[in-house]
Chains A and B, each alone.
Chain A
Amino acid sequence: MDLLDFAIYVAPPLVVAIFLFGVGYRIGRYIFFWRRKPSALRRQRPLLKLFIGLIKTFLDPLIQGFKYRKGDFLGGLVALHILGVIPLIFLLGQHVAMFSYWIPFYLALRPLAIPSSITSSSLTALANVVPSSDMSWTFVNTVWGPLTVILNGDLLAILAIIGVSYKIGDKIVRLVHKLGNARIGDWYALVLLLAILVSGFMATHHLPSGETGTYRTVLGIHILLAELLVATLPFTKFWHFVFGYWYGKLHEWYDLKYNRGAL
């Protein structure tokens, strides 16, 4: 068994087990630390206003980032999150195939799959060359149509790499200016993400060589690193997209808007 077989067939259950344990641990702590205290009378506000307030609670930081931190808005939010890792992780053709292997109902997302490169999209969507087997075809002939010329794994990966590099650069600048605003967890998260993106890009392009053994090793490394991210996700700042973001904004809305009425 080589690295790739290990990553695909052996590691996943283990990764999921650690992940689930972590989720239980992190959420369990919230329950453990929860204390009941007498609270003040809440201020009555109309339901519609509260609902609009809820949407605004989620939108406000984006607006503030757009207004006052253009670099972070473009690099951190647009390149890294919105165009980069989120569609790349969940919709890249190869990822849809891999996730469907372990979670069959993930196959429902197949029509939304994003092809890995401009070549794969143009060969299928534009040149209309029917592949000999159906398997790859179903992952590239998607609802995106000609859009896949720009909406493809290569471009998204490059944007995500730019986004992560921007964040790493930002941390370095902060360190140089002795702002101290860089924690060990930041380096772990950003460097791991960069390594996953670069190794994924390399595997897709059969880099550094087209030789099968090398390809399997690079792809194996890519998958293992991604699995490391999933396993450690509940213990790192990656937890923000599973829990921290949603809980944090909902709590803020509940505290400031629902309870105090700051609408």
Chain B
Amino acid sequence: MSWEEFKPESFKSAETYTLKHLDAVMLHFFEDCVNCGLCEVNCPYTAAGEEYGPVEKAEPLRRIYRPHAQILPKLFPWLFGANSPKSKEELDKWVEKAYRCTNCGLCYVTCPFGIHSGEMIKVLRSYLARTGRIPTLLKMMIDTEASNTLLENEGLRKVWEGMIDRIKAEGVEFNKKNTKYLYLTSLAEVMMTPGSVLGAVKFFKKLNLDWTMPDKPLSMRAPIGSLAGDDEATTIVARRIHEYIKEINPEYVVLSDGGYPYTFFRFDLPRIVGEKPSYKVIHIVELVGEALREGRLKFKNAEEKVTWHSPCKMGRIGGLIDEPVEVLSKVSSNLVKLKSHGVFSKCCGGGGSIACIVPPTQQVMEKVMGVSIPITGSEKVFLDKLYRDMLVAGKAKVDEIRESGASTVVTACIGCFHTMGMTTQAFGVNVKLKMLSEFLAENLE
């Protein structure tokens, strides 16, 4: 289905599918919201319009659930707001809301009732995916990843093979079975933040670890379908990666991307593949932290004023809040805190696939892949507005960076890295952006 289509007959099956997500926790998110609006105060997208407050964005999913899960809304749907979209414009409005959420979880910790609107919006995306609304670039990546044909594109193959050649020179044995550590990177990480990959490799070598990595990309990033609510594609890719890991049989799977791949592999994968993993998923900063505590690593003292932007997925949702700060404080005596940090660290504004579909990214992808991405008129309007709103959503973080006076911002998520590249530039804040493993590796003694 194309972006322009409006097919009410697709709504029924989309609804039936969406209802599968209604478990006890989702029931709480759905029914126990008192509509107080407090979640709005921290959502990065409220700045772009109050209609983008978390409760408002989760409302379409409540509309879908109500006539199925509650008696009075079934009898009086008009009174309770219980309906599917009535027109293309309404469906487009729903899409607009669903793509103004980075699933950062700030609403979750702000809500007096622990309601994670971001998770509801994620399910709303899966409803919309079934009505034909997945942004074209995202859909292209999902399909290529699910069919395992990423390297059939010459541009992407060049990017990947270029990196593999560099790593080969470091003497790694690819796909080696029964190693202690399996390093999992992705095509996106290799393409967007190669320094992050090379930094991680430097640590494996420096610590003299028994490690390996795949010589082919297993995914675009983590299953990218999970960002658009394409559960079938997500499951296919997740199973494939899980099987690969099992075949290698490592004790640890190590990631240097602290964005959604970290939470996906660490917390979501067991639920998706329906199996308790035989391996532990860690971020490279956990490995570095341990080596530092044991005195196996030493850093030079970096001169510059550094600050840490905690990616929502690694910090708030992934539980690694103190660890990166602890390690960074060993590298720089000039580490400054951003105004918002810890559990309430502000989101960069570009997560949940937003930064990866906005027009500037699209242009980069067209160049790398050597193809033109077919975008229809109304999708272009949608994407242009999304980009404007993303800059507004990201401004609070840029302001914090400016106030901190830091010259280098370190982060660990390629999405944050990419977003802050766009937002700091748009607001004229001149800072160096570094990925965590890259920054740490540069300062190794």
Contacts of B281 in A (CB 8 A): 40
Q: Let me know if A138 is at the binding interface, CB within 8 A.
A: no
* Given A38-B276, A69-B41, A181-B56, A247:B28 Cβ within 8 A: yes
User: In chain A, residues 30-61, which have Cβ atoms closer than 8 Å to a Cβ of chain B?
Assistant: 30-31, 33-35, 37-41, 43, 57, 60-61
Contacts of B322 in A (CB 8 A): 263
Contacts of B55 in A (CB 8 A): 181
Q: Let me know if A245 is at the binding interface, CB within 8 A.
A: yes
Minimum C-beta distance from B241 to chain A (A):
15
**Cβ-defined partner of B59 (8 Å) among A65, A180, A239, A250:** A180
Q: Which of B41, B79, B319, B343 counts the most chain A CB atoms within 10 A? A: B319
- What is the bound-complex CA distance between A184 and B266, given in angstroms? 40
User: In chain A, residues 1-30, which have Cβ atoms closer than 8 Å to a Cβ of chain B?
Assistant: 29-30
Q: Let me know if B35 is at the binding interface, CB within 8 A.
A: yes
Contacts of B269 in A (CB 8 A): 40
**Cβ-defined partner of A262 (8 Å) among B22, B31, B343:** B343
Q: Are B53 and A29 in contact (CB under 8 A)?
A: no
Q: Are A261 and B274 in contact (CB under 8 A)?
A: no
Q: Let me know if B445 is at the binding interface, CB within 8 A.
A: no
* Given A64-B42, A184-B79, A40:B112 Cβ within 8 A: no
**Cβ-defined partner of A61 (8 Å) among B110, B316, B320:** B110
**Cβ-defined partner of B113 (8 Å) among A39, A68, A240:** A240
Q: Are A33 and B24 in contact (CB under 8 A)?
A: yes
* Given A69-B41, A249-B114, A256-B109, A40:B28 Cβ within 8 A: no
Q: Are B267 and A260 in contact (CB under 8 A)?
A: yes
- What is the bound-complex CA distance between A118 and B335, given in angstroms? 58
- What is the bound-complex CA distance between A40 and B273, given in angstroms? 11
Contacts of B27 in A (CB 8 A): 29-30, 33
Q: Let me know if A182 is at the binding interface, CB within 8 A.
A: yes
Minimum C-beta distance from B276 to chain A (A):
5
Minimum C-beta distance from A257 to chain B (A):
8
Contacts of B41 in A (CB 8 A): 64-65, 67-69
> How many residues from A make CB contacts under 8 Å with B?
54
User: In chain A, residues 224-263, which have Cβ atoms closer than 8 Å to a Cβ of chain B?
Assistant: 237, 239-240, 243-245, 247-253, 256, 259-263
Q: Let me know if B360 is at the binding interface, CB within 8 A.
A: no
**Which A residue's beta carbon lies closest to that of B316?**
A262
**Cβ-defined partner of B35 (8 Å) among A178, A237, A261:** A237
Q: Let me know if B220 is at the binding interface, CB within 8 A.
A: no
Contacts of A72 in B (CB 8 A): 36-38
* Given A39-B271, A179-B56, A247:B32 Cβ within 8 A: yes
Q: Let me know if B394 is at the binding interface, CB within 8 A.
A: no
Q: Are A181 and B53 in contact (CB under 8 A)?
A: yes
Contacts of B28 in A (CB 8 A): 30, 244, 247-248, 251
Q: Are A240 and B277 in contact (CB under 8 A)?
A: no
Minimum C-beta distance from B299 to chain A (A):
25
Between A and B, 12 residue pairs with Cβ closer than 8 Å are: A38-B270, A40-B266, A40-B281, A60-B344, A244-B28, A245-B113, A248-B114, A249-B114, A256-B108, A262-B315, A262-B318, A263-B322
